Structure 1
Amino acid sequence: MTLAQLKDEIIAYSKSIGIDKIGFASADPFLQLKDRLLTQKQLGYQSGFEEPDIDKRVTPERLLPHAKTIISIALAYPSKMKNPPKNTREERRGIFCRASWGKDYHHILRERLQKLEQFIRERAPEARTVSMVDTGELSDRAVAERAGIGWSGKNCAIITPEFGSYVYLGDLITTLSIEPDVPLTDQCGSCTKCIDACPTGALVQGGQLNSQKCIAYLTQTKDFLTDQYRKKLGNRLYGCDTCQQVCPVNKGKDAHIHSEMEPDPEIAKPKLIPLLTMSNRSFKEKFGHVSGSWRGKKPIQRNAIIALAHFKDERSLPVLTDLVKNDPRPVIRGTAAWAIGVIGSYQEKKLLTELKKSECEEKVLEEIEKGLNIIENKSF
């Protein structure tokens, strides 16, 4: 069998196991990416979730000796929810980003990649392979761009002609030397809608993201959220889709191909108040299978409190009061105190004043003071 024939067989097999797009790229070092990553590091634009060794991120041979080819795969996910629950004054809801709808995509793509690896080794026993999804060293987007899966949009996402940017990406490095595909031409043109719409200005310019300001990153942090970003958060519990939603290429793109990616509306768009009293066990039982749960319940609960403040939901005051009084986590107590100030009135001023006497954590005291100042400055 020639390598050209093997490539055709790999493509055909990939379709049979539910891979929506597949592309082939050389495993040469990503030199331009290295320059960009060094710039990002110097500017302090990294999130901290990335692989810290930049050479590993740009040199496939560091991950697999004698690497010759990288296979990029893409699976399309839904952009619209069937029968979404309404967000009413009686039942305020938060929202998980679309990439966290359905089963955790890491598991879905790893399963596809494992099958692909096994298929390749059966057809070419001499081949060695290494695969990764998202948390691996390589930049999935750089690989997908080189492999012709899509072009790298100004929103820093891979945009495919068929599915827009609503795709999950995975990589498979191999020692086989397979003919590479041709990269797609950038089709963003002069459009800047994603840059203009970014809630925090995290998209510094086309293709450059300050991760420290990106709401998708901010929703995953575990500490107090900086004041300037709390209003920007809205009712987002995990991630942000704004730069995808405004993209003209994404208009009308809504793939319902994989049943395991279909969202449970009560999980993708959950009621906010019940989130605040969930135990670790109940949180894992309900949300543990989605990618947005990977940081645990604390960031989600903190974001839920901010969302209730966003809605000025007076129904949440009893549970917020209980959190300020009894929750052992300073971030939750403090954020709840601030939210009480946003939602409450003079009655809550008395509550927060009393809480100052018993609170010992400095940061929580600062949040109580913020809440009091907000109440003071309201005109009733």
Structure 2
Amino acid sequence: MDFQQLKKEVIAYSKEIGIDKIGFASASTFETLKDRLLRQQELGYASGFEEPDIEKRTNPTLLVPKAKSIIAIALAYPSKMPNAPRSTKEDRRGIFCRASWGQDYHTILRDRLQKLESFLKEKVQGVEVKSMVDTGELSDRAVAERAGIGWSGKNCAIITPEFGSYVYLGEIVTNIPFEPDQPIEDQCGTCNKCVEVCPTGALVTGGQLNSQRCIAFLTQTKGFLVDEFRDKIGNRLYGCDTCQTVCPENKGKDFHFHPEMEPDPEIAKPKLKPLLTMSNREFKEKYGHVSGSWRGKKPIQRNAIIALAHFKDETAIPDLIKVMKEDVRPVIRGTAAWALGKIGNDEVLPILEQLKEKEQDEEAKQEFEKGIALLVKS
């Protein structure tokens, strides 16, 4: 079979189905990545959301035994929100990162990858394929880098010449021996802005991320947020874009190719107070279609409370007292108590002291004590 011709046909078809960039890579083991992942593990920098088996993450033949190549795809997403609503003193707002605007990108990319799979199955008898997006075994970034989609930036994102780093990535491992494309040379040069500006110092050096300090990771955790990071999180409800927004390669990059990626401003930048008492059903109905909902409402609500503390929003005091009295989850009660310490006044102090005595959860009780200490100090 003429695989060169097939490659041309795949590229042409990818454009028809709304893939913005496509590249081809060999399916050989990712040796450099393997060393890096082992080092990440040793240093305790991994997030815990990744595939734990490093062999599977770096050896495509463990996923498709006769793997010969990998097809990498990229879809550009918007970086600017038209008609973005503004926070007001009465109605403060949080923000979801750009990668959680519009429909969940996992769904969008899986649709494109399934179409590509069907195309290959029609063309090649006995073809073997395995697709993945984000949660698969392979590193999307390592595959995209090898396939020439872009270079791996100091901000640990793939940076494409055309779309900057505002791209979603996915790949197909296959037994078709496609000729690999050339990787793109690193173009970060001496620029170190992302490393210097990272709010928590999570970018240890260019290209090395301590996930445990990364705000994007921290916004997805479910327990109490470590004190050190509470003032750093600002009004972020899910994810963080700082290392992308400061990147010179992203200047002026804003693409609106895919209607399903367009943000609903009231979802991407929602009012904070209504989030506090939202039921599971209401949360699922409103936010279930965005990628930022995957951990459920608890982290989003905790982050909304921290955001209200960030704004020192006195109009939220009654809402936070209600949460502190009525919410069954210690993390939410305790975070509300701490937030009231940041926001509140003398009238709040007796309420905090009274509720602290009733609090049964030890960790939550410590948060009540922090709130009380903040009020006494002020």
Q: TM-score, normalised by structure 2?
A: 1.00
Q: How far apart are residue 341 of structure 1 and its match?
A: 0.6
Give the corresponding residue for 2:124.
124
Q: Tell me whether 1:258 sits opposite 2:258 in the alignment.
A: yes
1:256-295 → structure 2 map (5 Å cutoff): 256-295=256-295
CA distance in 2, matches of 1:324, 1:88: 24
Give the corresponding residue for 2:168.
168
Q: Could you say what secondary structure the match of 1:225 adopts?
A: coil
Amino acid of the structure 2 residue aligned with 1:64:
V
Give the corresponding residue for 1:58.
58
Q: How far apart are residue 356 of structure 1 and its match?
A: 1.6
| Gap runs ≥5 in structure 2 | none
Give the corresponding residue for 1:92.
92
How many residues in Structure 1 have an aligned counterpart in Structure 2?
378
| Gap runs ≥5 in structure 1 | none
Amino acid of the structure 2 residue aligned with 1:273:
K
- CA deviation string 1:233-265 (max 9, x = no partner): 000000000000000000000010000000000
Q: Please identify runs of 4+ aligned residues in structure 1 that moved more than 6 A.
A: none
Q: How far apart are residue 333 of structure 1 and its match?
A: 0.2
Q: How far apart are residue 27 of structure 1 and its match?
A: 0.1
Give the corresponding residue for 2:36.
36
Give the corresponding residue for 1:234.
234
Give the corresponding residue for 1:13.
13
Amino acid of the structure 2 residue aligned with 1:257:
F
Q: Tell me whether 1:75 sits opposite 2:92 in the alignment.
A: no
CA distance in 1, matches of 2:266, 2:70: 38
Q: TM-score, normalised by structure 1?
A: 0.99
RMSD (CA atoms): 0.5
Amino acid of the structure 1 residue aligned with 2:8:
D
CA distance in 2, matches of 1:30, 1:353: 56
Q: How far apart are residue 126 of structure 1 and its match?
A: 2.2
Q: How far apart are residue 125 of structure 1 and its match?
A: 1.6
Alignment identity in percent? Answer: 70
Amino acid of the structure 1 residue aligned with 2:180:
P
CA distance in 2, matches of 1:39, 1:185: 24
CA distance in 1, matches of 2:39, 2:342: 39
1:271-350 → structure 2 map (5 Å cutoff): 271-350=271-350
Q: Could you say what secondary structure the match of 1:204 adopts?
A: strand
CA distance in 1, matches of 2:364, 2:146: 48
Give the corresponding residue for 1:154.
154
Single out whichever of 153-162 and 118-127 deviates more from structure 2: 118-127
Q: Tell me whether 1:142 sits opposite 2:136 in the alignment.
A: no
CA distance in 2, matches of 1:269, 1:195: 26
- CA deviation string 1:256-280 (max 9, x = no partner): 0000000000000000000001000
Q: Could you say what secondary structure the match of 1:346 adopts?
A: coil
CA distance in 2, matches of 1:203, 1:357: 41
Amino acid of the structure 2 residue aligned with 1:70:
I
CA distance in 2, matches of 1:227, 1:347: 24
